A = this chain, B = another copy of it.
Amino acid sequence: MSKPRVTWSLDRGRTAIVVVDMQKVFCEFDGALYVPATETIIAPIAALLECARAVEVPIIYLRHVVRGDGSDTGRMRDLYPDVDQILARHDPGAEIIGALRPQPGDVVVDKLFYSGFHNTDLDTVLRSRDIDTLIICGTVTNVCCDTTIRDAVHREYKIIALSDANAAMDYPDLGWGAVSAAEVQRVALTTFAYEFGEVATTEGVIARLSGRAG
């Protein structure tokens, strides 16, 4: 079966940027959950945020943080046994990286698992601004970005995933062969485009937001 790719018309009065987990723990070389590909997405995200601020499109940052005392990490701790150390609320690693530091007026939403919507106020933040379209960037593509995208689509948001501003990571061989970040990215972007919404480049979205697109 084949079908046309989705393209949304972008109303910047009803659009928000969602920056997923661009925290030191994932983006800095000595971070406990360092994702090397994040290095390549910082510049496009910075350019997008500069554009968004210029045209007054709201910016929402997600952060994956837990209390640190084990009270809010059940399955997450089963999967990442050291989560209470590495994602603890007051650990410097939980902060957004300096290159993308939130500015006054931006919104930071803390979440305790992969999805930006699960047990957070993200939906309220978006609805109160009458947002219906989300531009998603950040890390990692197939986990926190993907889960947030799925939850957004189920809540009837139109999503645009940025092909060059979502970062994936390599997986070791868990029984089905090692999987490279590039392969994860290829499968995730294809799945987003076929099943969940639009996939676009950062440059293309900046042109549309700033009114320069055809």
Interfacial residues, chain A to chain B (CB-CB below 8 A): 1-3, 5-6, 33-34, 74-75, 78-81, 113-115, 118-119, 142-143, 147, 150, 153-154, 156-158, 163, 171-172, 174-177, 179, 183-191, 193-197, 199
Contact = CB atoms under 8 A, between A and B. Distances in A.
Contact of A171 (B150, B190, B199): B190
A196 B118 CA distance: 15
Nearest to A176: B186
26 contacts: A1-B33, A3-B81, A74-B156, A75-B153, A75-B158, A78-B158, A78-B197, A79-B195, A79-B196, A113-B153, A113-B154, A114-B154, A119-B154, A143-B195, A150-B150, A163-B175, A163-B176, A171-B194, A174-B189, A174-B199, A175-B190, A175-B193, A175-B199, A177-B186, A179-B187, A179-B190
